[in-house]
Amino acid sequence: MKLLLTTSRGIEDLAKKEVEGLIKRAGLKGKVEEKPLGVEGRIWAEIEESYYFNRKGKKREFEIASFLNENSRLLHRVILHISSTKLPSLEKEKALNEIYNFVFNSPIENYVKISENFAVRSFRKGEHEFTSVDIAKTAGSAIYDKLSKFGMPKVNLDHPSVIFRTELIDDVFFLGIDTTGDSSLHKRPWRVYDHPAHLKASIANAMIELAELDGGSVLDPMCGSGTILIELALREYDGKIIGIEKYEKHLRGAKMNALAAGVSNKIEFIHGDATKLSKYIESVDFVLSNLPYGLKIGRKSLIPELYMKFFNELSKVLEKRGVFLTTEKRTIEKAFEENGFKILHHRLVGHGGLMVHLYIVK
Ligand code: SAM
**Residue range(s) occupied by CATH 3.30.2130.30 in the chain:** 2-178
Residue 238 CA to residue 248 CA, distance in Å, equals: 27
Residue among 218, 226, 215, 292 at smallest CA distance from 257: 226
Q: Which atom of ligand 1 is nearest to the CA of 293?
A: 9
- Write the pLDDT tens digit of every residue in 315-325: 999 999 999 99
Please tell me whether residue 22 adopts helix, strand or coil conformation: helix
Say which range, 35-39, 185-189, 294-298, 301-305, has the weakest mean pLDDT: 294-298
How many CB atoms are closer than 10 A to CB 259? 15
Ligand 1 centre to CA of 152 (Å) is 54
Q: Do residues 117 and 160 lie in contact, with contact meaning Cβ atoms separated by under 8 Å?
A: yes
Q: What is the pLDDT of residue 251?
A: 98
Nearest-Å Rg of the Cα atoms of the chain is 23
Across the chain, mean pLDDT equals: 96
- What class does CATH assign to 201-361? alpha beta
- Write the pLDDT tens digit of every residue in 147-199: 999 999 999 999 999 999 999 999 999 999 999 999 999 999 999 999 999 99
pLDDT band at 282; cut points 50, 70, 90:
very high
Q: Is the pLDDT confidence value at 298 over 80?
A: no
Q: Is the pLDDT confidence value at 299 over 80?
A: no
Q: Which atom of ligand 1 is nearest to the CA of 274?
A: 24
ipTM above 0.90, yes or no: yes
What is 235-279 written as a DSSP string? TT--S-EEEEES-HHHHHHHHHHHHHHT-GGGEEEEE--GGGGGG
Q: Do residues 171 and 90 lie in contact, with contact meaning Cβ atoms separated by under 8 Å?
A: yes
* Stated pTM of the model: 0.95
Q: Which atom of ligand 1 is nearest to the CA of 195?
A: 5
In CATH terms, 2-178 corresponds, of 2.102.10.10, 3.30.2130.30, 3.50.50.60, 3.30.420.130, to 3.30.2130.30
H and E: helices and strands count for the chain: 9, 17
Q: Looking at the chain, list the stretches that DSSP marks H as alpha helix, in order from N- to C-terminal side.
A: 12-25, 64-71, 92-104, 132-147, 201-211, 227-234, 248-261, 303-317, 329-338
Ligand 1 centre to CA of 304 (Å) is 15
The pocket around ligand 1, CB under 6 angstroms, is made up of: 195, 197-199, 222, 224-225, 227-228, 244-247, 250, 273-275, 290, 292, 306
Q: Is the pLDDT confidence value at 304 over 70?
A: yes
Average pLDDT over residues 221-228: 98
Q: What is the pLDDT of residue 296?
A: 64
- Please count the CA atoms within 13 angstroms of the CA of 41 that sit on its side-chain side: 21
Ligand 1 centre to CA of 245 (Å) is 6
Cα separations in angstroms, 319 against 153, 227, 249, 270, 322:
62, 23, 30, 20, 9
**Residue range(s) occupied by CATH 3.40.50.150 in the chain:** 201-361
Average pLDDT over residues 23-48: 96
Identify the residue with better confidence: 61 or 342.
342
- Write the pLDDT tens digit of every residue in 59-93: 888 799 999 999 999 999 999 999 999 999 999 99
Helix 303-317 vs helix 329-338: crossing angle, to nearest 10: 40
